[in-house]
Amino acid sequence: MFCKRTPQFQRLPDIPVKTTMDRADPSLNNIALLTSDWLVYADRCNQLVKLVDVVQDKVLHELKVDGVPAGVCSLPGNMAAVALLDKQIINIMNCDNQLSIVNRITGRGSLRGLAYSDGHLIVLNSFGKIEILHMNGGVFRQHFLDIFLGYIHNHLSIMTEGNVTSIFVVDSAKRRIHHLDENLQVQQVYSLPGRAEPISILAVGENQVLVSDLFDRLWQLDTTMGRWTKRERFLGTYVMAFCHDRHILYCSVNDAVNRYAIS
């Protein structure tokens, strides 16, 4: 579980992700926790998807994709979904020791967020439309949100508490977080304090949501009380993933995966 009180962060050694296939310095677009041992890393500059072992601290495998990998989410059975920002395509990938593309789903609009829940993909596009898709790409449910999506890395995150699934979407222009239910209906809107400019959001469970901002602050929202707490001068949180088994927050700005032990 994630600390409901203000957590303590202990910086651990970074995990290098630069490899011989890189033509430029790695530049992270997104990460997703596949298992407690593995991360999936989207390198936009090199147009590579990388499978990172967080125990051995190395890249196990990488795959060139035909576009800019952006949104990433884990799927059951050592699988992952990776959205290509410029191609309106979602690649379904097998991540069992090696990466391979097993299916492709055509999206609609520039994809700005990707998540998985209960056998469906949840997709957010640049027009503010959020969709729940069947795994064959068919639309199960959709809704338009009155939001502006700036260029931030994680616009969308979800968490499930018991049988209740909550979806969180960032409104960049109004600096707000929209809380949606599993039917895509807005339940509550939280305004960010301190004129924070959000760059990433991550729901971590126990009704806690993390939001990082451009001023190197990390905000923690308790959704049950609508209360925010903050940590100043917290670097390297352009994208985030949290491992409940190891109590480690993974995050990054550029060419390495940063990690923090949480207590």
Give pLDDT, residue 214: 86
Tokens of 157: 């995150």
Mind listing the domains of the chain with CATH numbers?
9-262 (2.120.10.30)
Q: Global pTM?
A: 0.93
- Say if residues 99 and 49 touch (Cβ distance below 8 Å): yes
Angle at CA of residue 221, ends 52 and 171, nearest 5°:
80
Instruction: Name 52's bridge partners.
Output: 39, 59
Tokens of 86: 């410029």
Residue (of 104, 136, 138, 110) closest to 125 by Cα position: 110
Give pLDDT, residue 48: 95
Give pLDDT, residue 190: 96
Give pLDDT, residue 249: 94
Give pLDDT, residue 152: 61
Tens of pLDDT along the chain (263 residues)? 677 777 888 999 999 999 999 888 888 888 999 999 999 999 988 999 999 999 999 999 999 999 999 889 999 999 999 998 878 899 999 999 899 999 999 877 778 889 999 999 999 987 889 999 999 999 999 999 988 776 666 789 999 988 899 999 998 888 999 999 999 999 999 999 988 888 889 999 999 999 988 888 899 999 999 999 988 877 777 889 999 999 999 998 677 899 999 98
Q: DSSP 3-state assignment of 217?
A: coil
Instruction: Give first-to-last CA distance, the chain, whole Å.
Output: 10
Q: How far is CA 161 from the centre of its chain?
A: 18
Tokens of 132: 């729940």
Helices (H) and strands (E) in the chain, counts: 0, 24
State the Rg of the chain over Cα.
17
d(CA 126, CA 33): 24
For 93-110, the DSSP string reads EE-SSS-EEEEEEE-SS-
Q: Which long-range contacts (CB under 8 A, 24 or more apart) does 182-188 make?
A: 182/117, 182/118, 183/141, 184/130, 184/132, 184/141, 184/142, 184/143, 185/143, 186/145, 188/223, 188/226
Give pLDDT, residue 252: 81
